[in-house]
Structure 1
Amino acid sequence: MTDTVGTDKVSAVRPAGRRPAALRTPLLALGGVLVLLVLITVSVANGDMPLAPVDAVKGLLGLGDPGTVLIVQEFRAPRMAAAVVAGIGLAVAGALLQRLFRNPLASPDVMGVTGGASFGAVAMLATGASQALIPLAALGGGLLAAALLAVFAWRAGVNVTRLVLVGLAVQAGLAAAVNFMVVSFPTELAGSALQWTTGSVYGRTWTEVWVAGAAVALALVVAFLLHRRLAVLDLGDDSAGALGLHTSAARLQVLVTAVVLASLAAALTGPVAFVALAVPHMVRFAAGPPTAGTLALSGLAGSILLLASDLVAQHLLPVSGLPVGVVTATLGAPWLLALMIRQSSSVNRSAR
């Protein structure tokens, strides 16, 4: 009788102990959605002509005064939507790369992918082609950067430190090429192209947002379909191979998906730093080990961070017209330095 009661007590305690961990990701997601909704309201309500939050929300939904609807839907909402879409793409890409390479330094901006996307977007802009083709050009530029990374770094095997160093070199080289094109442009094109050198959501149109947003949504579906393969890869190549997974093909699929997400995000914002690098760390700290839920949470956190950074750039800093990339880079530079120092210390300890 005593044993039965003791067993009942243990079985009653275990679910209660697990419940907080099981609910952590949904609760964080719910809180994140609420924060994002507040930021969206603030974004569409503030500008040269401030609006009451209720009127701004009505305008976003196509209700209320026609003038308010025009201001919100044609000028403010595309910028807000671009920040949300790009934040999702960058954060999920960073989460995929960091998990794939098992290294906190692996991110699209550090490894040169966003620089390649900016190169492709600016090159397309130089041709005078339709704005709807810029995401496709950015994707081509991101794949170009990934190919350069493979040529210069993959020959010695997938060594993450080598990948990061070569990625930084690729990023710098492509940034130099973008700057050369910008200074060579006619005056009327130079201003439009300059936004891709620092990262900005200013002047985004619904055409760009819808094209890039639809492509990001498709890439996100692929990312979640690949999540189970990532979980098997976490066991190590030998164990994954024993379970029937073709590890090289799986790694390539995850890598291409991450490059696509980062490139499409860069088509909207340019090479925005920090988001892809830091958001996965924040989510792991708050939500725990990687799961499909934390991958979705990374996308939500990325949209919050990029939209909040854009609001800071627009309304809280004394310099008007400051690109959002300046804000994220200011946050990201010390973060990257700290990660590199920590990574170097870990390598030195393991070598002893």
Structure 2
Amino acid sequence: MTAVLTGVVRGGRARTRHRRRVLAYGVCALLLLLVLLTVALTTGEMRLPATTALRALFGLGDSGDVLVVQQFRAPRAVAAIVAGAGLGAAGSVLQRLFRNPLASPDVMGVTGGASLGAVALVAAGASQTLIPLGALAGGLLAALLLGVFAWRSGLAVTRLVLMGLAVQAGLAAAVNLMIVRFPAELAGSALQWTTGSVYGRTWTEVWGASGAMALALIATFALHRSLAVLDLGDDSAGALGLRTSTARLQLLLIAVVLASLAAALAGPVTFVALAVPHLVRFVTGPPTAGSLALAALTGAALLLASDLVVQHLLPVEGLPVGAVTATLGAPWLLVLMFRQSAPVHRSQT
């Protein structure tokens, strides 16, 4: 009896410590995001005091300041925040769903589909405002292809990963073929978009994507209980009354929607969805609904920080933010692969 009470007390203390870590991390991440947003609004060729930038954001003060903040800096910063939040949440869901630390929208073919949709509209000479819609449609098309193949195979996790890689490879090959056959003036624009960028975003694009992203995030939190049950394994989840195939398909769909919306707004940005869940788990411990919210917040801060590096710290002008995230992602992927293989080597010795 004493041992049981001791275990209950220790469990309560562990939960309390976990809540405190989540709360502390959330406060720090939110403060960091606010600092980054302030930097985004105040720095550039025309530097502004923070108070002046804040007034200009609400349409007050000098008309030149209002134009710079409202039409150029603020939409770009908000686009990075919204896209980063979607990528962070999508990566967290996919890694838990596949029980694979390397899972990301790239594995699901979402980035390849988004690139194909956007590049197809570039080839058709469509307006820039329609390209994000093409990216969204392409990402959902990739998800549809994957869903059809996966449903026929019974939604086995290993098969899902392999099918996602196959879909991604096929779509990437189609994008490369289209770019090679483009006229030179279109090839440069298409290639820059497929790297990932939030340059030139308008409020129309940002508000549309923000509303859709908010709905998708709400749906993600609504499905978190199913995700938590799936964390126990399919056999245990089935014993608890969860229809595992249906729940897995729902979570897969919502993760793809999150990633597609992010790609529609910022292009196929890599690394964010892969790295953010690991960072959150390292700081806060086992995943919960709170850590899912932290993944979205961390993704927003990471993508905004990467865009600020592109704008103000690198000597190359016009570099897309995806180039920075990809540069960070390559060594991160190597570290993850090393960590995954290390237990195997130890067990063989």
TM-score of the alignment, normalized to the shorter chain, above 0.5: yes
Q: State how far apart, in whole Å, the 2-side matches of 1:212 and 1:9 are.
A: 50
- The alignment status of 1:210 with 2:207, answered yes or no, reads yes
Q: Which of 218, 241, 250 in structure 2 is aligned with 1:221?
A: 218
Q: State how far apart, in whole Å, the 2-side matches of 1:340 and 1:12 are.
A: 38
Q: Which residue of 1 aligns with 2:120?
A: 123
Q: Which residue of 1 aligns with 2:325?
A: 328
Amino acid at match of 2:45: D
Instruction: Report deviation, 1:101.
Output: 0.8
Summarize the Cα distance change of 1:172–1:11 in structure 2 as closer, same or farther, 3 Å threshold.
closer
Q: State how far apart, in whole Å, the 1-side matches of 2:52 and 2:188 are.
A: 33
Instruction: Report deviation, 1:48.
Output: 1.9
Instruction: Report deviation, 1:350.
Output: 7.7
Q: Which residue of 1 aligns with 2:108?
A: 111
Summarize the Cα distance change of 1:108–1:66 in structure 2 as closer, same or farther, 3 Å threshold.
same
Q: Which residue of 2 aligns with 1:4?
A: none
Q: Which residue of 1 aligns with 2:48?
A: 51
Q: Which residue of 2 aligns with 1:173?
A: 170
Q: State how far apart, in whole Å, the 2-side matches of 1:350 and 1:110 are.
A: 28
Q: State how far apart, in whole Å, the 1-side matches of 2:156 and 2:245 are.
A: 15
**Structure 1: any 5+ residue segments left out of the alignment?**
1-7
Decide whether the 8 Å contact of 1:105 with 1:277 is kept in 2: yes
Q: Which of 17, 20, 25 in structure 1 is aligned with 2:22?
A: 25
Q: Which residue of 2 aligns with 1:318?
A: 315
Q: Which residue of 2 aligns with 1:230?
A: 227
- The alignment status of 1:80 with 2:82, answered yes or no, reads no
What is the DSSP-based 3-state SS (H/G/I as helix, E as strand, rest coil) of the residue aligned with 1:104? coil
Amino acid at match of 2:192: Q
Instruction: Report deviation, 1:344.
Output: 4.0
Q: Which residue of 1 aligns with 2:91?
A: 94
Instruction: Report deviation, 1:150.
Output: 5.1
Q: Which of 247, 251, 257 in structure 2 is aligned with 1:254?
A: 251
Amino acid at match of 1:109: D
What is the DSSP-based 3-state SS (H/G/I as helix, E as strand, rest coil) of the residue aligned with 2:119? helix
Percent identity, aligned pairs only?
A: 70
Instruction: State how 1:190-209 maps to structure 2 within 5 Å.
Output: 190-209=187-206
The C-alpha deviation readout for 1:85-111, integer Å capped at 9, x for no partner, is: 100011100000001111101110233
Please say which of residues 83-92 and 103-112 is displaced more in the overlay. 103-112
Please say which of residues 258-267 and 55-64 is displaced more in the overlay. 55-64
Please say which of residues 89-98 and 145-154 is displaced more in the overlay. 145-154
Q: State how far apart, in whole Å, the 2-side matches of 1:162 and 1:10 are.
A: 40
Q: Which residue of 2 aligns with 1:276?
A: 273
Decide whether the 8 Å contact of 1:109 with 1:276 is kept in 2: no
Amino acid at match of 2:38: T
Instruction: Report deviation, 1:347.
Output: 6.0
Decide whether the 8 Å contact of 1:109 with 1:272 is kept in 2: no
Please say which of residues 217-226 and 139-148 is displaced more in the overlay. 139-148
Q: Which of 38, 41, 48 in structure 1 is aligned with 2:38?
A: 41
**Structure 2: any 5+ residue segments left out of the alignment?**
none
Q: State how far apart, in whole Å, the 2-side matches of 1:187 and 1:311 are.
A: 29
Decide whether the 8 Å contact of 1:118 with 1:267 is kept in 2: no
What is the DSSP-based 3-state SS (H/G/I as helix, E as strand, rest coil) of the residue aligned with 2:105? coil
Instruction: Report deviation, 1:134.
Output: 3.9
CA RMSD, aligned part only? 2.9
What is the DSSP-based 3-state SS (H/G/I as helix, E as strand, rest coil) of the residue aligned with 1:110? helix
- The alignment status of 1:295 with 2:295, answered yes or no, reads no
The number of equivalent residue pairs is: 345
Q: State how far apart, in whole Å, the 1-side matches of 2:231 and 2:317 are.
A: 46
Q: State how far apart, in whole Å, the 1-side matches of 2:260 and 2:150 are.
A: 20
Decide whether the 8 Å contact of 2:155 with 2:245 is kept in 1: no
Q: State how far apart, in whole Å, the 1-side matches of 2:132 and 2:299 are.
A: 19
TM-score, length-normalised on structure 2? Answer: 0.88
Q: State how far apart, in whole Å, the 2-side matches of 1:145 and 1:351 are.
A: 39
Summarize the Cα distance change of 1:55–1:122 in structure 2 as closer, same or farther, 3 Å threshold.
same
Summarize the Cα distance change of 1:17–1:150 in structure 2 as closer, same or farther, 3 Å threshold.
closer
Q: State how far apart, in whole Å, the 2-side matches of 1:9 and 1:232 are.
A: 26
